[in-house]
A and B are shown apart, each in its own frame.
Chain A
Amino acid sequence: MATTDQEVNELIKREYEHGFVTDIESDTFEPGLNEDVIARLSGIKKEPEWMLEWRLKAYRRWLEMDEPDWAHVGYPKVDYNSISYYSAPKRKEDMPQSLDEVDPELLKTYEKLGIPLHEREKLAGVAVDAVFDSVSVATTFKEPLAKAGVIFCSISEAIQDYPELVQKYLGSVVPHGDNFFAALNSAVFSDGTFVYVPKGVRCPMELSTYFRINAANTGQFERTLIIAEDSSYVSYLEGCTAPMRDENQLHAAVVELVALDDAQIKYSTVQNWYPGDENGKGGIFNFVTKRGACIGKNSKISWTQVETGSAVTWKYPSCVLRGDNSVGEFYSVALTHNHQQADTGTKMIHLGKNTSSTIISKGISAGKSSNAYRGLVKFGPGAEGARNFTQCDSLLIGDRCGAHTFPYIESKNKSAIVEHEATTSKVSDEQMFLCRQRGIDPEQAVSMIVNGFCKEVFKELPMEFAVEAGKLLEVSLEGSVG
Chain B
Amino acid sequence: MLSIKNLHASVEGKEILKGINLEIKAGEVHAIMGPNGSGKSTLSQVLAGNEAFEVTEGEVTLNGENLLDLETEERAREGIFLAFQYPVEIPGVSNLQFLRTAVNAMRHHKGEAEMNAAEFMKLAKEVSKQVDLDPAFLKRGVNEGFSGGEKKRNEIMQALLLQPKLAILDETDSGLDIDALQVVSNGVNALRAEDRAILMVTHYQRLLNHIVPDHVHVLAGGKIVKSGGRELALELEERGYGWLGIKDEEEAAANSAN
Contacts and interface: CB of A to CB of B under 8 A. Distances in A.
Interface of A: 1-3, 428-431, 433-442, 444, 448-449, 451-456
Nearest to B72: A436
Contacts, number: 79
A421 B52 CA distance: 32
- Chain B at the A interface: SS class: mixed
B162 A438 contact: yes
B92 interface: yes
Nearest to A442: B73
Contacts of A437: 48-49, 72-73, 76, 80-82
Given A434-B88, A451-B93, A453-B91, A439 B73 contact: yes
Contact of B88 (A431, A444, A452): A431
- Chain A at the B interface: SS class: helix
Interface string B68-98: 0001110011001110100110111110011
Nearest to A429: B52
A456 B92 CA distance: 8
Contact of B71 (A428, A429, A435, A436): A436
A390 B154 CA distance: 33
Contacts of A452: 90-94, 141
Contact of B90 (A429, A434, A439, A454): A434
Contacts of B101: 438, 440, 444, 448
B90 A449 contact: yes
A448 B91 CA distance: 10
A430 B76 contact: no
Interface string B36-59: 000000000000111110000000
Contact of A448 (B49, B84, B97, B158): B97
B113 to A, nearest CB: 16
A439 B102 contact: yes
B224 interface: no
B141 A433 contact: no
Contacts of B90: 431, 434-435, 448-449, 452
Contacts of B76: 436-439
Contact of B50 (A1, A449, A455): A1
Contacts of B91: 452-453
Contacts of B51: 1-3, 433
Given A451-B92, A453-B91, A439 B97 contact: no
A116 B125 CA distance: 39
B138 interface: no
B29 interface: no
List of 6 A-B pairs having minimum Cβ-Cβ separation, nearest first: A452-B92, A452-B93, A438-B102, A439-B76, A436-B72, A439-B105
B50 A433 contact: yes
B116 to A, nearest CB: 15
26 contacts: A3-B51, A428-B88, A429-B52, A433-B51, A434-B87, A434-B88, A434-B142, A435-B102, A436-B49, A436-B71, A437-B48, A437-B73, A437-B76, A437-B80, A438-B162, A439-B73, A439-B76, A439-B102, A440-B73, A440-B101, A444-B105, A451-B92, A451-B93, A452-B90, A452-B93, A452-B94
Contacts of B93: 448-449, 451-452
